[in-house]
Structure 1
C-alpha cells in the first residue's frame, strides 16, 4: 500500500490518500471502509453533448473523480438494489456504492454547447476500486483496529507470499497465502487413463501423466513471481506429489523453464490427505513445516482456531462464545485471547463497532491477545459459524456456557 497523504481531523477521524498495490491492499481498503465514510475515487460515466444549432446528441465516456458518501443505515431514498460495499476476491475488485455529495465537473455550460451528465448531487453511483487505483478516504472514526490494518499492509516485510500446490491424480490447484487471503491462482483437471498391463495402455498412461506435469509446470511458471514468493509447498494425497516433484527437478531445465530450475530450493514436499484447499490447514498443523515458514501471521491464527476446536470438543469451560459472554469475560480479566472475524467489525453499525472496539482494547489492557480473522481466509470458516467472535479464557466463569 502506498500512502500519499495522511492527516488527522480535529474530531478524531482521518483523511488518507492511498494506492492499492496488491490484493492484500484491496482487502485492507475493504475493511477500512464503513458506513458514514466519504470516498473520492476515479470513475467513468456516459456524457451527452448537445448543441442548439444542430439537432443531434453526441454521447461519449468521460473519466473523472467522484466523491461518494457511504450512508449509515437504509435511507428511504436508497434504492433496494444498492449494496454499499462488495468485494470479489477472484478479480481483486472492490465496488463501493454511495450518494454523490460533490458537484460534477462535467455539468457545465461551455459557449453554445452544453455538456450534460446524469450525475447530480444526491444521486447514487457505484465506483470500482482495483489494483493501482488511487483513492482519498475520509473517516470520522479512526481507532487502533484500522491503524493496525493500515500499518500491516504498509510494512514491506509482511508482503511475502507462501504458495501451495495441491496435486492429486489428474488434478492440481495453486493457492497464494497472502496475509489476509487464500487466493486460488489456477486449477487444472486432466484425464489420465487407467494403467493396464499391456504395453500400449501403459504407454498412454505414462504419456498422459507427462502431459499433465508439463501443464502444471507451464501454469506454475506463469503464475509465480519468485521475487515475492519464498516457499512453494507441494502437497496432496498419495504419491502423485512426489512423482511430480521428481519430474520437475529432472525436466524443468530441459523444458526451458530456467526460472523454476534456479528456484528448486524454494519447493517443499509435505503430506496431506486432502486434494483441495483443506490440505493447506493440514500442512500448517505440521510442526516440521511450520519451522520453515517465513511469515508466522496465519500460523498463530490457525493454532488459536485449533485450540478453540479442541476445547469445544472436550467440553472445556474456558471458552466464551458470542459478544455478550466475551464482554463479561473481558470485564473479569479472564480472557487470554479473542478471535473475531473482520466481517463482524466491518458490518456493524457505528455504535456496535465502538462497543466491539472497547471490548478488544480492554482485553489488550488486561494482557489478552486479539486475532482478527479475514472472512476470505480458510481459517475463519469455523469461527463464522460461532457468531463470529469467541474467547479463550484463563479460567472458567460461572454463567458462561
Structure 2
C-alpha cells in the first residue's frame, strides 16, 4: 500500500525514542487513516493544518467571525475514528503560540487526505515503528473483494491489509413463487442481480483486486454468476469479461457479513489450490490461516495451544512460544503501563525467534480481543 509517504525518526531500529523525535506523514488513501489511528495515543503531540473559526473586531467596534486555515500543534486528548467513512478527528489543547488560538485552548483537528501532519511521541516502541513501515509499504493493496449474498440481500466488502470494509449493501424484496406463475419472483431476482452487478462495477478496482469471492448458501451464487456474464456479453462489458478468471464461487452460511467470521471464513475454508495462489499475498488470508491453525491445534493438541495474557506471559518467560497471535486493539490501550506490557511481550517473542502476527481488529478474523500462542 502506498500510503504514508515520509518519516524522519532517526535510527528506527531502536525500540524507544525520546520526545524530540517526530514523524511527518501524509495519508494518500482512506485506509491510511486507520494506520494513523493506530499510531496516535493520548498525550502525543500532533501538528497539522486545520480550520479555526475566529472573531474579529473592526475599527468601528463591529464584531464579525470568519474561518481561517492555520497550523496548530495540540496535545492529544481524544481520538475519534469512523471506521466505515475512514475519518479521523483528534481533539486536544494547543501547546504552541498561534495568532488565532490561545495556549491551552481546545481544538479539534480533522486529518485530511493528501495533507501532511507531524506526530511526536514520548516513546517510539517497536510496534509503532512497525506500523509506520507497514503503512509506507507501497506493495500492500486492497487485493481481495467478496460478495456475500442470499436471495434479496448482498454485502460487498473489500479486504484490505488492515481492515474489512463494507462498501455496499443491496436489499431487494423478493416475492415468493406462486403456483403456476414465477414471473414476479424472476423479475425481482433480475433487479436484485442488476443492483449487485452495478455495485461490483462501482466499488471494485479491477486493476488492484486479484480475486473476487462470490459466496452464498445454495445456488444463489451460481445463478448470479450466470446472470452477471450473460449481461456482460449483452452489454459488451469488457471490464467484466476480461476479469472473469478473478471470480471464485465459494459457500457461505448466509448473505450477512458475519458469515465471513470464524471457522467458516470463506477466505480459507473453501479455497482450492488456485484460490490460495491468488490470495497468497493477502495479509487477511495469512491471518485467517493462522487463526484456523490455532483452532485446530486447540482442538487436537490442547497442550500446545493456549490463550489469555497470563498464560502467554508465562510461556514467553519459558521461551516456549512459536507463534503469537495478538490483536492491534491491545496496543491502543490508554494506560501506558498496560500498552508497554503488550509491546514487551511482542519484543520478547521476536527476540527469542518466535513469529508474531498482529491481527487487525477491523478484519473479521480479529474482531475479538484475544492474545494466544502456539507452544514449541
Please say if 1:46 is aligned against 2:49: no
Change (3 A) 1:191 1:367: same
Instruction: Please report how far the alpha carbon of residue 5 of structure 1 lies from its aligned counterpart in structure 2 after TM superposition.
Output: 4.4
3-state secondary structure, aligned to 1:70: strand
Establish whether residue 59 from structure 1 lines up as the match of residue 43 from structure 2: no
1:193, distance to aligned residue in structure 2 (A): 1.4
Q: Name the CA distance, whole Å, in 1 between partners of 2:306 and 2:174.
A: 49
Q: Cα deviations across residues 112-167 of structure 1 (Å, max 9, x unaligned)?
A: xxxxxxx3211222211243332111122223212221222222221142000112
The alpha carbon displacement at 1:4 in A equals 3.6
* 1:184 aligned partner: 166
Whether 1:174 and 2:156 are equivalent positions in the alignment is yes
What's the counterpart of residue 17 of structure 1? 24
From the superposition, tell whether residues 287 and 164 of structure 1 become closer, same or farther in structure 2 (CA, over 3 Å).
Answer: closer
Local SS of the residue matching 2:148: strand
Unaligned stretches of 5+ residues in structure 1? 72-83, 107-118, 395-401
Offset of 1:292 from its aligned partner? 2.7
Q: Using the TM superposition, give the Cα deviation of residue 245 of structure 1 relative to its aligned residue in structure 2, in angstroms.
A: 0.6
Question: C-alpha deviations, 1:5-26, integer Å up to 9, x for none?
Answer: 4133998243111111223311
Q: What SS is found at the alignment partner of 1:227? A: coil
Which digits, 9 at most, give the CA deviation of each residue in 1:199-244, with x for residues without a partner?
Answer: xx32222221111111111121111111222211111111111111
Provide Cα deviations, 1:167-215, integer angstroms capped at 9, x if missing partner.
Answer: 21011110000011000000011011112232xx322222211111111
Cα deviations by residue, 1:26-61 (Å, 9 ceiling, x for unpaired): 1111111112311112221211111132x4212111
What is aligned with 2:8?
A: 6
Deviation (angstroms), 1:253: 4.1
What residue number does 2:85 align with?
91
- Distance in 2, Cα, partners of 1:227 & 1:256: 19
Paired residues of 1:320 and 1:329 also in contact (CA < 8 A)? no
Residue pair 1:43, 1:128 contacting (<8 A) in 2 also: yes
> Given the superposition, is the C-alpha separation of residues 5 and 317 from structure 1 closer, same or farther in structure 2, using an over 3 Å criterion?
closer
Residue in structure 1 matching 2:335, options 343, 349, 352:
349
1:268: which partner in 2? Answer: 248
SS in 1 for 2:235: coil
Match of 1:282 among 263, 266, 273: 266
Asked if the contact 2:4–2:132 (Cα under 8 Å) also holds between the matched residues in 1, the reply is: no
Q: Deviations over 1:334-361 (max 9, x none)?
A: 1111111111111142233333222211
Looking at structure 1, the residues matched to 312 and 135 of structure 2 have their Cα atoms a distance apart, in angstroms, of 28
Give the alignment partner of residue 32 of structure 1, picking from 15, 39, 42. Answer: 39
- Size of the aligned set, in residue pairs, is 363
Alignment check: 8 A CA contact 1:99 1:123 kept = yes
- CA distance in 2 between counterparts of 1:60 and 1:188 reads 42
TM-score, length basis structure 1: 0.84
Secondary structure of the residue aligned to 1:246 is helix
- CA drift of 1:69 comes to 0.9
Is residue 148 of structure 1 aligned with residue 130 of structure 2?
Answer: yes
CA contact (8 A) 2:210 2:278 kept: no
1: distance between equivalents of 2:222 and 2:373? 40
Instruction: Tell me the TM-score normalised to structure 2 length.
Output: 0.89
Residues 170 and 189 in structure 1, CA contact (< 8 A), matched pair in contact too: yes
Question: How is 1:372-391 mapped onto 2 (pairs within 5 angstroms)?
Answer: 372-382=358-368, 384=369, 388-391=370-373
Contact in 2 for aligned 1:235/1:279 (Cα 8 Å): no
Distance in 1 (alpha carbons) for counterparts of 2:43 and 2:164: 29
> Over alpha carbons, which structure has the higher Rg?
1
Tell me the equivalent position of 2:107. Answer: 125
Match of 1:100 among 87, 94, 97: 94
C-alpha separation in 2, matches of 1:359 and 1:4: 28
Q: What SS does the corresponding residue of 1:158 show, helix, strand or coil?
A: coil
Match of residue 223, structure 2, among 229, 232, 243 = 243
Deviation at 1:103, TM superposition (A): 1.7
